[in-house]
Amino acid sequence: MLQTFRGTHDHLPDVAVRYDYIIKVAQHWAGLYGYNLVSTPIFEYADVFSRTLGDTSDIVTKEMFVFEDRHGDKLVLRPEGTAGLMRCLLSNGLMHQLPQKYFYAGPMFRYERPQKGRTRQFHQIGVEFMGEASPLSDGEAITLAWDVLGALGLKNKVALHINSLGDTESRQAYRGLLVEYFSDFKSELSPDSQERLLKNPLRILDSKDPKDQALVAKAPSLEGSLNNLSKDFFARVLESLDLLKIPYSINPRLVRGLDYYCHTAFEFVTDTLGAQSAVLAGGRYDRLALMMGHKEPIPSIGWAAGIERLELMLDQPVLGARPLSLIPIGEAAERKVLGLAHDLRLSNISVVMAPSGNLKSRMKYANKVNAQAVLILGEDELQKGTAVLKELDNGNQQEIPLSQIKDALKRLS
């Protein structure tokens, strides 16, 4: 009863401030690229996800929190952001005003076994660039990701892996070749990969099983199946990265799990989070709109990053604003201090009151809330119309007239 549900957590202030910091940094940079903040409901009709993510994807088959409302409508807590945003675009008729660039942040839900960096309610920041087919938009989206990671001080902890899945024609051709190849060795594949052969053959490529990898080494390459259009598209994405000197490595085994991806697939990976290597990942999803019933494709590119994972990687502590601690002594001072505190707050100064306890414990409290200074107002000071201002970092203290407090505080910061 007093325990949170498996895989969900409270975010106490020291953690919450770090989440908030990550979101603010990402939103700031997304703004510089013209992405606008949007938010969509955290639950949707189940079809929004089950029809678009792929009937055989793990997310749909075993990881969605599905429930029915009182009318028997099937609903699902969103397991990812992209499908909901595409639904949002179509619902609001915004396909007539393309392109659209969106930034979002919020909780996602997957019914998984929790691990470090993996929770059942987790949080993502993400961007979607919808209605733009140029490979320049892929390059730009990846550059934004690189800038966000850089602003968070994580560049030296991540590596960019990138690959191309090709357009639909290339991808389907390759899938055929791959199934043909692996079918000959079916009994030699790991049980997991035998399953993949049926559901998602591309996934066999990044199997961790050594025997699978031996077979993969001789398998036909994805690159070999790319048609000229796909090859050219990929080359132009890479060119963007080269021009901006963003380091990457082409990973021919990088594939995406969800059905709607094509062309560019990329991941920023880390080795600092145990089994969870992907920190930020995304790709192009030109066909998603079609899968949602729209009559033509809406070429789009996007990515999402796990806030939990980013937070675990942050080195430096995130500090909040340092308040002024107000300490009134005696009832008359308490009355006086109410107005003073309000006045200071109206001047954009953070003020924390410590109205009870002995002076010593109130000083300690000021320390605990990381106050920059305390303002002590007792009987003597009240009569003189002054207060004692003490800086906590160096212990300096002086008695100043109440009328000069704002100026004195401004001099401190």
The residue ranges that bind RNA (CB under 7 A) are 3, 5-8, 57-59, 62-63, 80, 110, 112-119, 122, 124, 192, 196, 203, 207-209, 256-258, 267, 274-281, 304-306, 308-309, 329, 357-361, 363-364, 366-368, 376, 378-381, 388, 390, 392-395, 397
For residues 249 and 367, which CB has a smaller minimum distance to RNA in the complex?
367
For residues 231 and 322, which CB has a smaller minimum distance to RNA in the complex?
322
For residues 143 and 276, which CB has a smaller minimum distance to RNA in the complex?
276
For residues 6 and 74, which CB has a smaller minimum distance to RNA in the complex?
6
Q: What is the closest distance, in whole angstroms, from the C-beta atom of residue 115 to RNA in the complex?
A: 4
For residues 291 and 392, which CB has a smaller minimum distance to RNA in the complex?
392
For residues 86 and 279, which CB has a smaller minimum distance to RNA in the complex?
279
Cα 31 from Cα 250, distance rounded (Å): 29
Q: What is the closest distance, in whole angstroms, from the C-beta atom of residue 96 to RNA in the complex?
A: 28
For residues 55 and 393, which CB has a smaller minimum distance to RNA in the complex?
393
Q: What is the closest distance, in whole angstroms, from the C-beta atom of residue 377 to RNA in the complex?
A: 7
